[in-house]
Amino acid sequence: MKVYDAVANAFVKEGTSTVFGLLGDGQLTWWSSIAKHPGIQIVDVREEGAALAMADGWARGTGKIGVCSVTHGPGLARLSLSLVAAKRGRTPIVVHTSKTAFNNERNNQFLDQEKFVSAANGGYIEVLKPDFAEEAVRQAFYRARLESRPIVLCIPQDIQGKECDGAGDEYQPSATMFTGQQRIRPDLDRLHAAVRIIAESKKPVVLLGRGAMAPEPKQAADRLAKRIGALIATTLIAKGVLGESEYHAGISGLFSTRTAMKLFEEADCVIAIGAALNEHTLAGGYLYPNARFVHIDIAPHVMMGNDRGADCYIQGDAALTAQELDEMLAQKGVAKEGFRTAAVRNALRGADRDPAEFEIEPGVVDTREVVKIIDEKLPSNVGLVTGSAHNFAFPAFHMKKPRALQLTVNRFTGVGQVLANAIGYGVAIKGPLVAIEGDGSALQNIQELDTLRRLGLKLLYVIINDESYGAEYHKMKASGRDANLTVVPTPDLGAVARAFGCRGRLARTLEEVAAGIDEFLAGDGPLVLDVRVSRNVISIPSRRLYFGQDV
Amino acid sequence: MIIDIREEFEVPASPEVVWEIISNPYEVVSCLPGAAIAGQKEDGTYEGTIAVKFGPTSITFKTLVTLELNPAAHEGRFTSQAKDSRGGTRTRATATFGVKRGPVEPGSSVSMQGSVEVSGPLANLVESGATFVIKRMVAVFAQRLAEKCGPREQEAPRPKIGLWRRVFRLVCAKVKGWAWH
């Protein structure tokens, strides 16, 4: 069996169903081989970094290992930002690539690939003898799942065409060795210690992170929170989890409302479930000055964002631990009102209202109003993908409808990551979604509208267009520098979308925004909405960060 | 991160009156909301606390302040090293200040130049906002300083602060300092 056939077969046996890639001369053999397998979907992407970002979004949407294929050298070099982003987002991905001829560093496309991948935080496995090829695929998938990061698997051109003893249908996929994270039962002593802290608490907060987004931990956390009268908060990534609760304070961190921050100040106990409690969630360690921390996570230990350990750290499965805590507290007869009073409920209602008024010039709209319309018009089954930079604070603050499907693409805060992640996520969830991104970000990967059009996904791509690099605009302004240096005019991106074969609209009024959403809902396939917004509207986190405002 | 300080404001009082206040740390502290002096060490450095509001978050710093004064020139130099007890933020500030005769009599122009270096978790939270926080603090300080100077302008020159009064203030400041914790 040829190495490329053995490797393609092993990928399929590992469960590969969708490959995001861009064909180059390094993968011709493997690409041809895997394309022959029935049920394999190859998504032709227009830029390698976008292909990896799509595999990232796909993996997040399916919970499986994403697969991306790019050619060696220049193809691989384009992955840098997406590799780091996937590592930071802890996404398991296998990147298939090749390598230029051995012992020829003068080859135009030569790259010290291992060094490059390692600098971009990826793992690297290279096949140097044909009989290692299948084992290499197994290792790549095993490590991707175990290490939760991208593993680059290199099948050099000098090896691809060689013969090997392929296992064919007998190939043992990595899942037979490692099926994934086991449910860790929490240690009883730690549970007792946590119960003591929680039982003594009068004002507890249950803080949910990415590890508590699945239905089971979510329900367990809800029961626990109800028993102890806890306020609910989430990390940015877990935004909206248990959002239907009247005692939901929103996101914990710089994205908290002022009301929530005041309540957090009163909290005497934080029970963090599946949340790393990083410096963002704890606002540098200043958010819960009077609280003791019970920190539940599957890692042996996680240092909190203030460089301290929790008062009680419990290594354990999120659902099991929350359940056990709830049962032990029930046995002790603990049931309290805590934060769950009419006063708190009333305070939280409308806490996200932003009374600040900004002058809105003609032909542009207030971003806060735009995201509110999006939230109102799109039903809960429409997933939400957001990114980083200035614009994403608006959906984080003002979109409140609970949405089971949502993806925050912000771990490396590189611009240009949302569209590609959203496409991968859309392929995974097979349902409607909205992706919100700024104009600078959109224009970094606008070519992927072509991929989007070919896939025909029901995706509303909202470009919050202030014709500038928004975060930089406000930073320049705050520091007394020339903010106009950040202004770069854009063409009508609705028209650009139409040229790509998508539906597209330019919206300069709130009515046009609403009409665009209606058109999206009424028809099939993607729609790009270029919404012209005022640079005068500054998000609440930016007002705090850049202008030191107490808002 | 480094925050540059370059502030100048006018006070409707003579430079002599203004200097007497701003060269006295206890008087300065009384013009700064949230600040208190806990005591003076043998080497002359002052121990104090100051609560600063960054956005909705209030952070209390413990600080050591060294003051070098040149009364003849109405100029001084101030260095401070501060840390907060919760988040592990450290700040190191150096500034020179001076009082000059202002354009309108009786009036003074107070200037302050220097920088604050912030390290630790707060550095990521404050960004350029810290500049505005400092500006607001200076504005409040200027207003309180003016209030302090204002009525005295008509009075006879204030006598030099006596030893007993100093001791009394020290005790008051200590009590205030304790109350902070």
CATH of residue A70's domain is: 3.40.50.970
Report chain A residues whose CB lies below 8 A from the CB of B125: 254, 283-284, 286, 545
Residue finishing a domain among A320, A348, A376: A348
Model confidence at B151, pLDDT cuts 50, 70, 90, reads low
Does B12 have pLDDT greater than 50? yes
Q: pLDDT at position A426, please?
A: 98
Angle in degrees, CA A126, A129, A131, rounded to 5: 110
Q: pLDDT at position B148, please?
A: 87
Helix (H, G, I), strand (E, B) or coil at B30: helix
Residues A107 and A214 placed together within one structural domain of the fold: no
Residues A454 and A477 placed together within one structural domain of the fold: yes
Q: pLDDT at position B108, please?
A: 93
Residues A469 and A506 placed together within one structural domain of the fold: yes
Does B181 touch chain A if contact means CB atoms closer than 8 Å? no
Residues in chain A with pLDDT < 50?
Answer: none
Question: Is the Cβ pair A285, B121 closer than 8 Å?
Answer: yes
Does B140 touch chain A if contact means CB atoms closer than 8 Å? no
Mean pLDDT of B40-63: 90
Measure the CA–CA gap between A106 and A391, rounded to whole angstroms: 45
Model confidence at B177, pLDDT cuts 50, 70, 90, reads very low
- Domain-embedded: residue A59: yes
Domain extent for A245: 188-348
- Domain-embedded: residue A113: yes
Residues A267 and A227 placed together within one structural domain of the fold: yes
Does B133 touch chain A if contact means CB atoms closer than 8 Å? yes
- Domain-embedded: residue A28: yes
Does B170 have pLDDT greater than 60? no
- Domain-embedded: residue A122: yes
A270 CB-near residues (< 8 Å, 6+ apart):
A204, A205, A207, A288, A291, A292, A293, A294
Q: pLDDT at position B155, please?
A: 46
Nearest CB to B87; choose among A254, A286, A548: A286
Does B178 have pLDDT greater than 50? no
DSSP H stretches of helix in A283-438: 318-331, 342-348, 367-377, 393-398, 418-429
Which two structure tokens, joined as six digits, stand for A43?
Answer: 């998504």
Residue finishing a domain among A155, A176, A197: A176
Residue finishing a domain among A315, A348, A381: A348
Q: pLDDT at position A410, please?
A: 85
Does B176 have pLDDT greater than 80? no
- Based on the structure, what is the number of domains in chain A? 3
- Domains of chain B in start order, with CATH, are 2-155+164-180 (3.30.530.20)
ipTM over 0.95: no
Mean pLDDT of B62-84: 93
- Domain-embedded: residue A361: no
Question: Is the Cβ pair B121, A548 closer than 8 Å?
Answer: no
Residues A420 and A480 placed together within one structural domain of the fold: yes
Instruction: List the one residue out of A27, A74, A29, A80 whose CA is nearest residue A50.
Output: A80
Residue A503, min C-alpha distance to chain B (Å): 40
Q: Which residue has the higher pLDDT, B169 or A424?
A: A424
Q: Which residue has the higher pLDDT, B88 or A538?
A: A538
Measure the CA–CA gap between A182 and A203, rounded to whole angstroms: 32
- Domain-embedded: residue A354: no
Q: pLDDT at position B180, please?
A: 35
Residues A172 and A201 placed together within one structural domain of the fold: no
Q: pLDDT at position B175, please?
A: 42
Q: What are the beta bridge partners of residue B4?
A: B115
Does B174 have pLDDT greater than 50? no
Quote the mean pLDDT of chain B.
Answer: 82
The fraction of chain A above a pLDDT of 90, given in percent, is: 91
Nearest CB to A306; choose among B56, B121, B133: B121
Residue A478, min C-alpha distance to chain B (Å): 6
- Residue located via tokens 């390290």: B119
Nearest CB to A545; choose among B88, B120, B129: B129
CA distances from A134 to A163, A537, B130 (A): 12, 55, 56
- Domain-embedded: residue A359: no
Nearest CB to B54; choose among A289, A305, A548: A548
- Domain-embedded: residue A262: yes
Q: pLDDT at position A124, please?
A: 98
What's the full length of chain A, in residues?
551
Residues A287 and A334 placed together within one structural domain of the fold: yes
> What pTM did the predictor assign?
0.90
Question: Is the Cβ pair A548, B136 closer than 8 Å?
Answer: yes
Does B2 touch chain A if contact means CB atoms closer than 8 Å? no
Residues A337 and A439 placed together within one structural domain of the fold: no
Q: pLDDT at position B181, please?
A: 33
